[in-house]
Structure formats: structure tokens, C-alpha cells
Structure 1
Amino acid sequence: MCSNNLKEEKFKMLDNFINTVPNDQSALIEVLHKAQAIFGYLPEDVQSYVAYKLNVPVAKVFGVVSFYSYFTTEPRGKYVINVCMGTACFVKGANLVLEEFERELNIKAGETTKDGKFTIEVLRCVGACGLAPVVTVNDKVYGHFKKEDVKELLESYSEEEV
């Protein structure tokens, strides 16, 4: 497997991006967003690399990554399922939707399936209360979502793999 070559390619992509931004801490969050988009998450070696390239203390980078819930230090699935748990969604049964995803995938919120295909996460509010309850998969929004819709949604993403 060429995982080392792939990782080197990802670091080159990150380097190319870093070369377009200011070489200091003012670009830190922007660079971390790009790094997470490239690598899928922010492992320690990537955080250290960003610190080195931006001439920022590693502790500052770790602090930013751990402070913002958007950033993750664990690999995520190809499909990240977010269940909104804002008040409107919760009142309309989002907790039941979450439980059904957990049951179907045999993982809990915050976890990724063993095959690396799905990650379940919980959001505080998507900002689409009129569509409650809301589920997103990557950047696609599904409104008026019911627990009965879970199996069909998962099957639709599994079919995309074939």
C-alpha cells in the first residue's frame, strides 16, 4: 500500500495552501480548516507541522484544535451523519432518530464504524428549525427526518459505493 506516498502528497497540498496565506498565527484557523479538509482530521503530526510552518507554538495549535468543536483529532467516516439536537429538533423526535442510527450502525454518537464508512455526530443547532428534525450527511440536509427514514438513508449511501 502507498500510504506514505499518499500522506506525502497531502503534506504537499497543505504546503501549497500555506504558501498562499500569511506566515503567522493570523492564518492558523484557516490553515487548520484546510488541513482537516485534506487529511480528514488533525492528528498530532499534522498539528505539529502546521505549528512549524506558521512559526506558532505547538501548544497554541493544540489549544485551538481542542477548543473548537469543528476540529477533530480522530479519523471520521466517509459519511459524517449529524443529528441536530436543538430544541425544535429534539421536541420533534431527534433523540429517536439518533438512537436508530446508533442501533443500525452499532456505534454511539462520536464514533465511526469499523469500516470507516459512517461517523455519527450530534449538533446543537443546524439553524433549519422549520425542517425539524434535521439530519445532515456531509453537506446534504435532510428535513422532517423520522427514525423510519434511517435504514433507507443508510442504504442509499451504501448503494453509492457499488
Structure 2
Amino acid sequence: MKNIYGILLFATVGITSFSTLSADGNVTVTAEFFDATCNLHADSHNMTVALDNVQLSELKTPGAISKAVPFNLKFTDCALSTIAWVGFDGTAAENSSTVFALDEPGQSSTASGVGLEIIDDYRGEVMPVGYAPSGRLTTGLALVGKETTFPYSARYKSLSNDVKPGNANVTVQFNVRYD
């Protein structure tokens, strides 16, 4: 009989063993729920905008501009309540906040004395170089329906009295912010 009590006592202690817990810190989780943004149309990925060849005589004075060539950024599958803001980022030409510098400056095959401007055709304004979420961007456009197109143009702008001939390639990134 003593063995039965010993076995029952041992089983009871085993069943009623306790765990100890301590609260050493907190985890705070924050999140925001939002409508879907948009998809960038395939034609707007890594696009090349081919500007016309320009004669030096067209850009012989500072501020002279070439013919603008239009291009579009196209968005698809947009939520109806979405507003998109677009900004362009790259290297600014010296002493300019609206002219992008040419790629490979100083190379013998690269033009000099010119840069590239991007025009927001919706507002008719030259876009600034650089993207800042709180800075000046394209007017936020309400994305209507399943597709929305943002119209832009690109053109060369003379920055000097001494424009040199050569390649005039420019790499620019665009960024999109949704509200």
C-alpha cells in the first residue's frame, strides 16, 4: 500500500509541475492598410527616349533649348482612390536644379555645355532634379480606372556659350509615391 501512495504522490507532482514566466520586454507592431497601388506598364520599364540630333548652332547661347520629344509613364491596375506623385532623380548639371548632367562628362566623345530637361506636360513645367517625398513633384494625379498615363517631354538645354559636339546621353530614374 505504501508503494501505491508513493507512486500516486510521484505522479501527482509530475502532473502539477509549474512553469515560470517573466515579462522582460514588449513587442509593438505597427502597420498601415492601404488600397493597392499600381503596376508600371511594360512599355514604361527601362525606356529609351531618342531625342533628335541637334546642330550646335541651335544651342549656341545659354538657355537655348532643342525640340522636345514626348514620352509617357503608363500605370495599370490602379486602385480608384490612389493618387500618384512622380519625381525624377539623377545627377544635376552644375549650377542647375532643373537640368540633368550628361553621362560620362569629361570624356572626349561626350558633348559638353548642355544638359537635359524633363517637362511635365500635364502642368507645362520643367521638373526639378531629385526626388523628395515632401518636395516639388508632378502634380499628384488621381489614377482613374485601370490605366493612367503621365505625359512628359525631354529636351536638351544649353548651359554655356561654348557647347562642344559629342554624345549627349543622360540616365534618369523616376520614382513614384502613392497617397
Structure 1 length normalisation: TM-score?
0.25
Larger Rg: 2
Higher relative contact order (CA 8 A, sep 6+): 2
Identify the structure with the greater strand proportion. Answer: 2
